[in-house]
Structure 1
Amino acid sequence: MATALVDDAMREVFARLPADDPRSLVRAAAVCRSWRGILSDPGFARGYRAFHGAPPMLGFLHNEYRRGNCFVPTSTFRRPASHDRRDCHVLDSRHGLALLYAPGYQAPFDVCDLVTDKWREIDDDPKCHSIMHWPGDDLDDYDDDSMRCNATVLCAIDRCDHLDCHGGHFFVALVGSADEVSDCHTLATVYSSETGEWSDIISIQAPGFEIDTGGRTAVVGNNKVYVQSYEGDSVVEYNIREQQLSVIMAPEIRGKGFLDLLGVEDGMLLFGSVLSHRLYLWSMEAGPRGAAAWARHRVVELEPLPPHRALMDMSDSDMWTVGFAERVGVIFLRTPFGLHTVELNSGRVNKVHERNIKKVMPYMRFCTGAWGRMPASDGASRSVVGGGTMV
């Protein structure tokens, strides 16, 4: 009885360990068999995820010129250098998965789980060629603009809360633009890991609409993908389940700068713009037949926040949004002084990278349920969970 009470108490303690510090779980599991048994129990993993409510941001992915994809940790999780796959470029990251692209390969797409290091190759299909522009075999000539479509990876499990969907079926959606005899078309197709096939291409006429191939995409539910136009004045909705496309015109927001699609917050599309050292946030709810309504907006004052001097020296054209970590409320800002994050709940601004990165893809994932090799003793300074490393 006493042992059971102690175990129950330890479960409550372990449940409160920070989700963005998986190292603490690994070290606790290394103390003794009893603690490892608690932490390895599937019931604890489910309770831990439910207690925290949203997957933590373990880091973010981005592309570097001539170097391929890079992972920058924002937690104690470290992606092994041997699995960086420098021959691939990252296109998207969502629901614990990363979508990588290797032009010239027979299977040009890879979907991977960075924690478990599980990979799924996706073969090429001739039907995708009408949506994509293939840059050739030389990665030195590759850049984000060489693809004329935008790609999204997402969980395909119905009504999933994305707390523990890792290893389940997923979708890869491609949405692109094509100009055929002066008629502008928007096209889309989706790959299902369950069937292992790409769907038939669907299209609609969309005069003047050009996909922003380097922008971010948004997912509402498990079946609607949103991609912004290059001009930023509209978004295309791709309903995967019903195989339908529609274009939603964004209302003009005069005097508030360029609206940039960030992602989804509270089930609505979130847009951001930077003007006069203020970050403007707009929420838009998509309705039937392409109708849209602005729900609310917020303003985050950047000027009084650190680094104050750096922000004061910038013009509006020097600073813009480049990423958004959904459910944890972290926006990434590109500035001449490096990459910064803005935490919406606290208003805190942090510098997270020296480089000017033009697209950030946060990697959100719980590390529970992915135990691999454990440290041999409490004094070990390095341990492994799945394919990831805790240092």
Structure 2
Amino acid sequence: MGELAEDLFLRLSPELVEEVFFRLPPDEPACLAQASAVCKPWRRILADVGFRRRYRKFHGTPPVLGLFQRGDWLFRKGSRFVPTSALFPAQPDHPDWLPMDCRHGRALFDRTWDKSVLMVLDPLTGHQRLVSSPYTHSVSFSAAVFCAGAAQGCDHHGCQGGHFRLAVVTTNNVQEVTSGWLYSSETRVWSDLTSLHHPNLRFTNLAAPSVLVGDALYFNLGGIIECQLGTLCLSMFEKPIDGKGTLMATQGGLLGFAAVVDAANLTLWSREAGPKGAMGWAKLRIIDLEALLPVDAMSLTLEFRRISGIAEGTQIIFVIARAGSYMVDLESGRVRPVSCLCRKIFPYMSFYIPAMEAACAGQEH
């Protein structure tokens, strides 16, 4: 097989071979690993840094490689990692850490028993960095991790491993104030964001995943908090409906919201300008979960029909049903069971090319 492949390589230009490799699915790293094992010329192409950059640019949004899950009834605290792709590096469970966010090749955790420390993890390399939190008292809060160039238009094709930023938003229901901080890994300093006063508005105690849309972060803490990364300003507006739901980005690059309504209908909204220019929520789609999910997945109890996570930059959401969690592609309609656990999910998205990762580490492959 190796001799035949090498003979084929000699007949084809490297540019044509690259075009073939570009079309190997990024959510199945085993395909690229198998191609790198065929012959040395193919391995050299896959190990080239320029190919990695072009491969990421070709596919754009990185695939979901695994899921960080909060503790459940069996695993009572901390988090566990469930890979969704073959060959992904093994990840240990983190019983002392709760997942808060995943973005741009990094995962963010806070300590289960000490909220004064955050951990930023690179799941590909296992590298961890501890960061002191800007708050020490118990309040409702949410946190986000993102690359340092997010506000400057980074395409995120190769920013993993570089500098990152953290955003933390906290709410105090007694003082009726929301505060925020922004951290830079380059300066190792927290900057204060503007504060908001919100009388008579109750916020949830459960941290929800953030969403990055353009140069703004959005947090769902009962009301929706907008954090403008350029101006460091906070603002607030209402959700389209009361109750549980999840922020997401629409296919058009706008802020979206998704919630399970009337027990079986997944409803999607988009925040956009109305006829008179005022921003508001517009209903986009209603999806019948009973027609989408397997028959044995549905439960008679509404509590077990809700959204447990989103894959940012895609139309992929994670839905909890009686039989566990399902990954649902709203664009293609494909449904895939991913876990028997019914807990909040933080998808880890990144490009992983084993041959290239080994080359970057200075190892022979």
Deviation at 1:166, TM superposition (A): 0.7
Equivalent in the alignment of 1:112: 121
Which amino acid in 1 is paired with 2:191?
S
Query: Which of 262, 267, 279 lines up with 1:292 in the alignment?
Result: 279
What displacement does 1:295 show? 4.3
Query: Secondary structure of the equivalent of 1:202?
Result: coil
Q: Find the counterpart in structure 2 of residue 218 from structure 1.
A: 211
Shift of 1:369: 8.3
Say if 1:102 and 1:316 are closer, same or farther in 2 by CA, change over 3 A. Answer: closer
Unmatched segments (≥5 aa) in structure 2: 1-8
Give me the whole-angstrom Cα distance separating, in 1, the residues matched to 2:196 and 2:116: 28
Q: Does 1:303 find its partner at 2:297?
A: no
Partner of 1:338: 324
Deviation string 1:96-137 (CA, Å, 9 cap, x unpaired) is: 11002225679821212111222222134xx422xx52xxxx
Q: Distance in 2 between matches of 1:295 and 1:306?
A: 25
> Equivalent residue for 1:9?
16
Deviations, residues 180-205 of structure 1 (Å, cap 9, x unaligned): 5xx41011111111211111353121
Deviation at 1:37, TM superposition (A): 0.7
Structure 1 position 218, deviation (Å): 1.4
The residue identity in structure 2 corresponding to 1:333 is: V
Structure 1 length-normalised TM: 0.79
* Identity score, percent: 36
The change in CA–CA distance for 1:373 and 1:159 in structure 2 (over 3 A counts) is: closer
- Residue deviations 1:188-231 (CA, integer Å, cap 9, x gap): 11111121111135312111334433322211224x2211233x
Code of the residue aligned with 1:203 in structure 2: it is S
1:95-110 counterparts in 2 under 5 A? 95-102=104-111, 108-110=117-119
Q: Is the 8 A contact 2:304 2:321 kept in 1?
A: yes
Could you tell me which of 216, 233, 255 is aligned with 1:244? 233
Asked if 2 retains the 8 angstrom alpha-carbon contact of 1:153 and 1:171, the reply is yes
Q: Is the 8 A contact 2:36 2:355 kept in 1?
A: no
Matches within 5 A, 1:133-282: 133=138, 148-157=140-149, 158-180=152-174, 183-200=175-192, 202-212=194-204, 213-222=206-215, 224-230=216-222, 234-251=223-240, 253=241, 258=243, 260-265=245-250, 266-274=252-260, 275-282=262-269
Report the RMSD for the aligned CA atoms in angstroms: 2.8
Q: Secondary structure at the match of 1:35?
A: helix
Q: 1:109 to 1:346 in 2, by over 3 A?
A: same
Q: 1:104 to 1:178 in 2, by over 3 A?
A: same
How far does residue 21 in structure 1 lie from its aligned partner after superposition?
A: 0.8
Q: Distance in 1 between matches of 2:106 and 2:358?
A: 22
CA contact (8 A) 1:106 1:123 kept: no
* 2-structure distance, mates of 1:244, 1:201: 6
Deviation of the 1:66 alpha carbon = 3.7
Shift of 1:314: 2.7
- One-letter amino acid of the counterpart of residue 169, structure 1: H
1:304 and 1:103 map into 2 onto residues whose CA distance is: 38
- Distance of aligned partners of 1:327 and 1:112 in 2 relative to their CA distance in 1, 3 Å threshold: same
1:320 to 295, 302, 306: 306
One-letter amino acid of the structure 1 residue matched with residue 212 of structure 2: V
CA apart distance, 1:321: 0.8
What secondary structure, in the 3-state scheme, does the structure 2 residue paired with 1:43 have? helix
Q: Is the 8 A contact 1:42 1:369 kept in 2?
A: no
What is the match of residue 367 of structure 1? 352
CA distance, structure 1, for counterparts of residue 338 and residue 115 of structure 2: 36
Aligned residue in 1 for 2:80: 70
TM-score by length of 2: 0.84
SS in 2 for 1:121: strand
Structure 1: any 5+ residue segments left out of the alignment?
A: 134-146, 375-384, 387-391
Partners of 2:115 and 2:180 in 1: how far apart?
A: 21
| 8 Å Cα contact 1:115-1:370 kept in structure 2 | no
Aligned to 1:38: 45
Deviates more, 1:104-113 or 1:154-163: 104-113
**CA, structure 1 residues 370+84, in 2 after alignment: closer, same or farther (shift >3 Å)?**
farther
- DSSP-derived class of the 1:236 partner: strand
Q: Matched residue of 1:13: which SS?
A: helix
1:135-190 CA deviation, whole Å, 9 max, x = no partner? xxxxxxxxxxxx6211111122020122221122221111111145xx41011111
Q: Which residue in the other structure is 2:5 paired with? A: none
